[in-house]
Amino acid sequence: MEPSRARAVLARTPALNCGHLKALLEAAGGEPERALEPRSARALELPPATRAFLGAPDESALAADLAWLRASGARILLCSDAEYPPLLREISGAPATLYVLGSVEALASPQLAMVGSRSPTPGGLATARAFARWFARAGLTVTSGLALGIDAASHEGALAAGGLTVAVCGTGLDRIYPAEHAGLAARIAASGALVSEFPPRTPPQRCHFPRRNRIISGLSLGTLVVEAARKSGSLITARLAGEYGREVFAIPGSIHSPLSRGCHQLIRQGAKLVEEAADVLSEIKFPLAKEQLTMTPGGDAKPAELDKEYEMLLDALGFEPATLDVLVARTHLPGESVASMLLILELEGRVAALPGGRYGRIP
d(CA 235, CA 79) in angstroms, rounded, equals 26
d(CA 164, CA 68) in angstroms, rounded, equals 25
Q: What's the pLDDT score for residue 144?
A: 98
Digit-coded pLDDT (tens) for 135-188? 999 999 999 999 999 999 999 999 999 999 999 999 999 999 999 999 999 999
What is the overall mean pLDDT for the chain?
Answer: 91
Q: What's the pLDDT score for residue 304?
A: 67
34 pLDDT higher than 60: yes
Q: What's the pLDDT score for residue 122?
A: 87
Contact present, 171 and 208 (Cβ < 8 Å): yes
SS3 per residue for 103-148: CCHHHHCCEEEEECCCCCCHHHHHHHHHHHHHHHHHCCEEEECCCC
Q: What's the pLDDT score for residue 1?
A: 46
**CATH number corresponding to 308-361:** 1.10.10.10
Domain 109-294: CATH architecture, name and number where available: 3-Layer(aba) Sandwich (3.40)
49 pLDDT higher than 50: yes
Q: What's the pLDDT score for residue 98?
A: 98
Q: What's the pLDDT score for residue 176?
A: 96
Q: What's the pLDDT score for residue 288?
A: 63
Q: What's the pLDDT score for residue 305?
A: 75
pLDDT category of residue 294 using cuts at 50, 70 and 90: very low
Digit-coded pLDDT (tens) for 230-262? 989 999 999 999 999 999 999 999 888 899 999
d(CA 363, CA 359) in angstroms, rounded, equals 13
Q: What's the pLDDT score for residue 362?
A: 80
Contacts by 87-94, CB closer than 8 A, 24 or more apart: 87/111, 87/218, 87/219, 87/220, 87/221, 88/215, 88/218, 88/219, 89/18, 90/218, 90/244, 91/214, 91/218, 91/244, 93/17, 93/18, 93/214, 94/17, 94/18, 94/218
Helices (H), 110-269: 122-138, 150-160, 182-191, 208-219, 234-243, 258-268
Digit-coded pLDDT (tens) for 103-128? 999 999 999 999 999 999 888 999 99
Q: What's the pLDDT score for residue 286?
A: 81
Q: What's the pLDDT score for residue 355?
A: 80
Q: Which helix (H) or strand (E) holds 87?
A: helix 86-89
Domain ranges of the chain: 5-102, 109-294, 308-361
Mean pLDDT confidence for 69-75: 96
Q: Which residue has the higher pLDDT, 35 or 299?
A: 35
Q: What's the pLDDT score for residue 291?
A: 45
320 pLDDT higher than 80: no
What does the longest C-alpha to C-alpha distance in the chain come to? 84
192 pLDDT higher than 50: yes
